[in-house]
Amino acid sequence: MLALTGCLALSACSGGSAGPPTTTSSAGPSATPSAAGSTGASSGPSSAASSAAPSAPSSAGPVAGAPVVVLDPGHNGGNAAHRAETGRPVPDGRGGTKPCNTTGTATDAGYSEHAFNFDVAQRTERVLEAAGVRVVLTRPNDVGVGPCVDVRGTAGQRADAAAVVAIHADGAAPSGSGFHVALASPPLNPAQAGQSRALGTALHDALRGAGFHDSTYLGERGISLRPDLAGLNFATRPAALVECANMRNPAEAAVVSSADGRQRYAAALAAGILAYLRHP
């Protein structure tokens, strides 16, 4: 994971709303906030790209310029035990308020959304980094609290990101299934109006290409326009939120609960992000 500033463990920037995650590093090597030395030039992809920059669009090989992408795994493992902290109101980006953060959903068997989100984010991070992308996660592990949605919402601009993708799974009526991509609407700035739509379309098309289907219960052809998501409302960089599946649907619960299934989601998300980065 990339470490740009002291604020990258975003919980540290939220005015003390999210204490505990600071020192834990239980989530495996790629989630451990590494020293600044890893920034960008740690390996060859970017230099390889610059010396052999293709003149024609390519869907393979490293992405030129080593762009930064923020991945925002929704919720957090410590939220449920810190209801007062996560329940406090924070700005929603449109003049109202929302709770700082929520616990998220789970499968009927008890596999939690926050764990799914974090695992898929880490898997996506690995694919992106192999393509020369520098990745920032909004939380360093799955045992902390928060960060609040307004803090997540400004992560893209703080990291100078080319794209921001929030990763979630839904908890809807069991009969519904499929993914949807949420976008801030009406748009509050040019990035939300134009590039975010392009990013969302790229994510949608990649998920479809990977064999996942549009939501049967929400949005329109896999796209949902939302005024109420603070994490998107605050973004001034291209941003989208993906609800990968309905965790209450038995078939999709099986997919999200398997490592193979999560790798499929990660590969699709990374493919969508890379497609956008190559043709924004």
Is the peptide bond between 99 and the residue preceding it cis, with omega within 30 degrees of 0? Answer: no
CB-CB contact of 89 with 98 (8 Å): yes
CB-CB contact of 179 with 213 (8 Å): yes
| Catalytic residue list contains 129 | no
Give the x/- contact pattern for Zn ion in 68-87, rule: CB under 5 A: ------x-------------
Region of 48-56, 100-108, 135-143, 199-207 interacting with Zn ion (CB under 5 A)? 100-108
CB-CB contact of 245 with 224 (8 Å): no
Number of chain residues interacting with Zn ion (CB under 5 A): 3
User: Which of 123, 139, 168, 197 is close enough to bind Zn ion by CB under 5 A?
Assistant: 168
User: Which of 104, 146, 178, 219 is close enough to bind Zn ion by CB under 5 A?
Assistant: 104
Q: Is 160 left (phi over 0), alpha (psi -120 to 50) or beta?
A: left
Region of 11-19, 121-129, 161-169, 178-186 interacting with Zn ion (CB under 5 A)? 161-169
Vertex 189, ends 185 and 195: CA angle to 5°?
80
CB 248, min distance to Zn ion, A: 13
Q: Which of 113, 125, 129, 243 is catalytic?
A: 243
Can you tell me the distance from the alpha carbon of 249 to that of 95, in angstroms, rounded to the nearest whole number?
A: 35
Nearer Cβ to Zn ion, position 45 or 146?
146
Amino acid identity of residue 202, one-letter, is A
123 binds Zn ion (CB under 5 A): no
Give the x/- contact pattern for Zn ion in 29-48, rule: CB under 5 A: --------------------
Can you tell me the distance from the alpha carbon of 43 to that of 50, in angstroms, rounded to the nearest whole number?
A: 13
The binding site for Zn ion (CB under 5 A) comprises 74, 104, 168
Q: Which residues are catalytic?
A: 243
